[in-house]
Structure formats: structure tokens, C-alpha cells
Amino acid sequence: MRYFRVKKDKASGYTGDIDATHRWKIPGVIGCPACQTTWGDNSRAYPSVDLTPIATLADFEKARAEPIEEYERLSELVRPFLPPGARLQPGAAFGPLVGKAQGRFGSFTVHSPWWPLVQRDALDKLKNEGLQDLKGCPTQLRFRQRASPEFFELELLPVGRSHPDCLPPDRKPPCPRCGRFGLRLPDELLLDAATLPVHLNLFRLEDFSVLVCTERFAEACQRLELDGVTFHPLQAR
């Protein structure tokens, strides 16, 4: 099986612009006592998650950083609502993508740059090709035009890791308290074949904010002439 990195096609000529964020967020961390780092990363988003049953919903409406004890408390409130295989991290986002959009879009667009959106007809075509593992979640985007597309956000689970051979030999393990990995994306990313899923055609790596697809997904998009993204081969070892 071959794998590809999925990126927004910046040379496509589409003029589409999106100003949006997810409805709910979990706070980042202020000064983790284990690694002394203040950080948050919203690249992990779970748009299918509905947090409305939580009584203290206001705690998830504003992006901010909190002491790690508060982050851990709020994490326990969120955890029962997560889909199987989801992983939390400081700054993670939940619920539909809400905001404004305008312009011309392709079949796909990648927002911010790790939230992949797909138009309804493109998603239907891919599922008809047998890619039933794709999970599209409705967005709440307001368009400033009459002929507006209907976008779904693809919910991607963090699965698979980079191979140790492409990482610094003196790297430190992730923080045992907050989970921060703290490494820059390698110039030549190499996938660890033993960690890659056999049941998903599109996923997000565990250790880096990289969208990865299978050869099957890339070929289906090209055969169906779905545009808006590009595919870059990745080596696996």
C-alpha cells in the first residue's frame, strides 16, 4: 500500500475563503509542571462531538490556556462524548465548524490547514466508490452568495506515526503529563509502516498535524476528477 500527504491545492485558482472555528474548545495548558511548557494545538478536531449535555458548557466556548489541573478536569467531562479512537490534547476542538465563507471552492478545501472539508456531491461519489470509512460532519458556514456549496468536515482520527529514522536521535519522549511532543515536522517525513491503519483511507498522524491518505483514496479522487487538494507521496518503512 502506498500513502500520500494531502494538502490544499494553492495553485488551483479557486478564490474560496473561510473564516470559521469549531463551536467548542478545550483549553490549552499554562506551564505544565512536567515539561514547563505553555501550549495548545487545535489541529485535532472532532466535529461529530456534541457537548451540549455538559452542564458547564460555557467552560468550552472560549479559547484560552488554563493550569493543567483545570485542563485535566475538563478533559474528563469531554471524554465520554469522544468517538472511538479519538485522543485529547490541549486546545482540541469539538462540534461543527461555525463561521463565514465566500468565493469559489473545489470539491475539497483544507482549512487552517488541517481541517479537510468536502462538498456533499464529492463525498457521495467517494462513498459510492466503496470508501465507506469517510465520516462527513455538517458544517455551519454562512455564505455571502446565492450558489453556495454544502460542505462537510471529514472527521479524522489520529492514527499512525512517523518513523524514528526521520526524527532527531536525541529527541525526548512526549511529556508524560500534558502529552506535548515538541518536535518540528521533518523535512523528509517517513512513516512507520507498523503503526499505519488498515481500516482507514484518510487519517491524521498521531505525532504531527499531517493529513495522510491511502493510494485507494488518491486514485478515487483523481478518477472522479475531484479537485482542491494535492497528493504528495510518502515513504513508509
pLDDT class of 144 with cuts at 50, 70, 90: confident
Residue 169 has pLDDT above 90, yes or no: yes
Of 139, 140, 126, the residue nearest 202 (C-alpha)? 126
Kindly report the pTM of this predicted structure.
Answer: 0.95
To the nearest whole percent, how much of the chain has pLDDT over 90?
94
Distance CA 31, CA 138 (A): 35
**DSSP-derived 3-state class of residue 219:** helix
Q: Would you say residue 39 lies in a domain? A: yes
Residue 220 has pLDDT above 90, yes or no: yes
pLDDT class of 147 with cuts at 50, 70, 90: confident
| Domain assignment of residue 82, given as a range | 22-94
What local confidence, expressed as pLDDT, does residue 204 receive?
96
Q: Are 26 and 88 in contact (CB under 8 A)?
A: yes
Question: Can you say how many angstroms the Cα of residue 197 is from the centroid of all Cα atoms in its chain?
Answer: 16
Q: What is the pLDDT of residues 56-113, one digit of tens each?
A: 999 999 999 999 999 999 999 999 999 999 999 999 999 999 999 999 999 999 988 8
Q: Whats the size of the chain, residue-wise? A: 237
Q: Would you say residue 205 lies in a domain? A: no
Q: Would you say residue 147 lies in a domain? A: no
Residue 146 has pLDDT above 90, yes or no: no
Q: Would you say residue 126 lies in a domain? A: no
Return mean pLDDT, the chain.
96
Cell of 124: 457521495
Distance CA 100, CA 19 (A): 5
Q: Would you say residue 90 lies in a domain? A: yes
- Sheet-wide strand order for 151-154: 108-111, 115-119, 151-154, 136-138
Mean pLDDT of 126-153: 94
Q: Would you say residue 17 lies in a domain? A: no
| Count: domains in the chain | 1
Cell of 195: 503503526
Q: Would you say residue 64 lies in a domain? A: yes
Residue 211 has pLDDT above 90, yes or no: yes
What local confidence, expressed as pLDDT, does residue 200 receive?
97
Q: Would you say residue 49 lies in a domain? A: yes
Rounded to a whole number, what is the distance in angstroms from the first to the last CA of the chain?
A: 12
